[in-house]
Structure 1
Amino acid sequence: MKKIVTILGARPQFVKAAVLSRVIVEHNELEEVIVHTGQHYDNNMSMVFFEEMQIPVPKYNLNINGLSHGAMTGQMLAKIEEVLIFEKPDAVVVYGDTNSTLAGALAAQKLGIKVVHIEAGLRSFNMSMPEEVNRIVTDRIANLLLCPTQTAIDNLEKEGFGNHDIKIVNSGDIMKDAVEFYGALSQEKATVLEKHQLVKNEFVLVTIHRQENTDDIIALKGIFEGLTAIHKHKKVVMPLHPRTKSILEKHKLTYPITFIDPVGYFDMLALLQHCALVVTDSGGLQKEAFFNKKACIIAREETEWVELVNHGFATLVGSNTANMQEAYQHHILAKHDFSMSLYGNQVGETIYKEIKMLIIQNN
């Protein structure tokens, strides 16, 4: 049986990879070996996480975290290479834009193993973001680029990828499959709404964690002043990221909004399903808001998911307090048509077929 090795390093990547893993098991034609680099140490990723989320437990956990970007990527490269030499896979699959993504792609390509990049072609056009460097380099050395949107394909074409021996496919966004699958389960397993007595459409869901916001105190204050203004109209609920919490405590900043502890994936889906709209600086949550038919205010200067902005489902406000208030007033009154298909259907099946074809052509 042909074999693939999947390299993962963060909880969202495991959620996405579970979609493909289920398709692989259904077809029973490929063997999948999962490697967890340990990049993002996460207390929520206990055995209960894998059992409840129906995610295969990694065969390898490299436990590499808490280091600088260079040290982390270097150690991952060395350890992943050891795994690949032992496992001898026909292809390596990587997701997104983490250091784990780049290390996995580099290790595979240097060993002559085909590289599949899921979520290829995304660009923020902000080279100060480590994620942007990771995704650009990974795209360039991959053999199969599975793009979530036409915009991603357009980005690659503008960069001259048509001149390289790389297959580019608009596969759709694998996160769409994940939200559909887990959305149904969340209704049984989520407890956050009852715990915090949250009423449907009577709260705004907020997540803020990006380094460019948390490490810039002026930007952080601008965002929280905007959230405070929104809170006067509708309850603002914010699962507080540890980084954001430590910065607020360091600067003795307090705001009259509803902070709650970080939540698991089922609870986050329940919050998405029941909120009035979303304010976030997360990339993934922008799309999950759309999948759950919610408008999104993006606390960043740019987004990789430009189609959400272009079609009016999201608004970029950066850290500007006034812009955030204006966007809130617009979206809370607007009647959005979320029936538009921006991110494909049966994405996991499409991706599986492309990987299988790559392996067959390589033998």
Structure 2
Amino acid sequence: MLIDIIAGARPNFMKIAPIIHAIQKAEDSGSKLKYRLVHTGQHYDKKMSGDFFEQLNIPHPDVNLESGSGTQAEQTAKIMVRYEALLLEKPCDLTLVVGDVTSTMACSIAAKKLNIKVAHVEAGIRSFDLSMPEEINRMVTDSITDYFFTTSERANSNLKRAGVEDERIFFVGNTMIDTLLKNRSRFMRPEVWDELKLKESNYIVMTLHRPANVDEEHKLKGLIQEIVDHSQGMPLVFPIHPRTAKVFENLGITHDNLHLIEPLPYLEFNFLVERAKAVITDSGGITEETTVMGVPCMTLRDNTERPETCELGTNELLGTNPKSIGPAMAKLFSGSWKKGEIPKLWDGKTAERIIECLNKL
């Protein structure tokens, strides 16, 4: 059985790595599963994709569709056309997609139209916010998926409410946490640690990239100003996303404790996160990692598709109003931030469970 494993953007690489390693391990035990790694090229620069293949020991892709940049529609179309051409020339038995990026939706559609079954890892999560491109990707992908691999009971419930039968839902856990736990002992101190003379629990990591926060100059400036004003002078380390950097350069903001740096590779970034006083972000995946590492996390969004990070973990949803930052920072510095716990099946064995399911199927 040949499985196409689809990866296209930075969040995908952490999710596919343990699946590839689990298939390789199963092959040694006589499994008939084979895989073809398809990189769509959605993220095509080294900092956003190349470093992940090297650091996470992911083999070189068997195919690179080289879709590149473009609008949502342009990128979706290029991925669909190129993946369809690959399937027509060399079909697979199952297309396995992960997460909720453009590549996830585009390859699912292309495969399904050729009557190839689709498996979705991280299926069923919902923000119920249709202004987010990722939510559209999740809904479309799950509407045509055959096998659903889920991270939480909430995701299971979402799928059941949408009419998915129990026998097609497999609650397996979170492959991104597989990667985190496997590599935690390998985290690497980045150069910025020494350059800024950082000390454990004495700095804050920031990441912002969502359009609602960064596309309008006044909104981004307001968020940054509130964070700086309530940081008590603590260093703010800000690996800046290319999208955010384009807007930020026009703001004219400079503060002694605000340090903009290039995006970091996986091992270096998580070294910083694990030792931070807190993380301020609008990313979904980072909230999962901070929950497992026990690091306080503030999410600048009005909703989340990962409610378990708030209900069980260390994350709090602050919304997008800059004025919500001050009270949260006061809570942090008072030492009263919640401790949190790790959600069920986020134990580093998710990929093994996925492969067990695929072998049975």
When the two structures are superposed, what TM-score results if normalisation uses the length of structure 1?
A: 0.91
RMSD of aligned alpha carbons: 2.0
1:130 match: 133
SS at match of 2:295: coil
Give the counterpart letter for 2:296 in structure 1: A
Asked whether 1:71 is paired with 2:71, we answer no
1:279 match: 280
Give the counterpart letter for 1:3 in structure 2: L
* Identity, % of aligned positions: 32
SS at match of 2:54: helix
1:294 match: 295
Which moves more between the two structures, 318-327 or 172-181? 318-327
- 1:338 deviation in Å? 4.0
2:18 match: 19
Give distance in 1, aligned partners of 2:327 and 2:313: 14
Give the counterpart letter for 2:304 in structure 1: T
1:1-363 maps to which residues of 2 (within 5 A)?
2-28=1-27, 29=31, 30-44=33-47, 49-162=52-165, 167-187=168-188, 190-256=190-256, 257-311=258-312, 313-332=314-333, 333-334=335-336, 336-345=338-347, 346-358=349-361
SS at match of 2:15: helix
SS at match of 1:145: strand
- 1:40 deviation in Å? 1.6
Instruction: Point out where structure 2 has 5 or more consecutive residues left out of the alignment.
Output: none
Give distance in 2, aligned partners of 1:58 and 1:107: 19
Give distance in 1, aligned partners of 2:69 and 2:42: 8
Give distance in 1, aligned partners of 2:247 and 2:167: 43
Residues 303 and 317 in structure 2, CA contact (< 8 A), matched pair in contact too: yes
Give the counterpart letter for 1:98 in structure 2: V
When the two structures are superposed, what TM-score results if normalisation uses the length of structure 2?
A: 0.92
- 1:42 deviation in Å? 2.2
Q: Deviations over 1:316-343 (max 9, x none)?
A: 1223233112112223412644444345
Q: Deviations over 1:106-163 (max 9, x none)?
A: 111111111000011111111111111111010010100111111111222223334x
Give the counterpart letter for 2:346 in structure 1: G
Q: Deviations over 1:57-97 (max 9, x none)?
A: 11111111221211211121111112122332221100111
List structure 1 segments (4+ residues) > 6 angstroms apart after TM superposition: none
- 1:305 deviation in Å? 1.0
- Compared CA separation, residues 60 and 45, structure 1 to 2 (3 A): farther
1:361 match: none
- 1:266 deviation in Å? 0.9
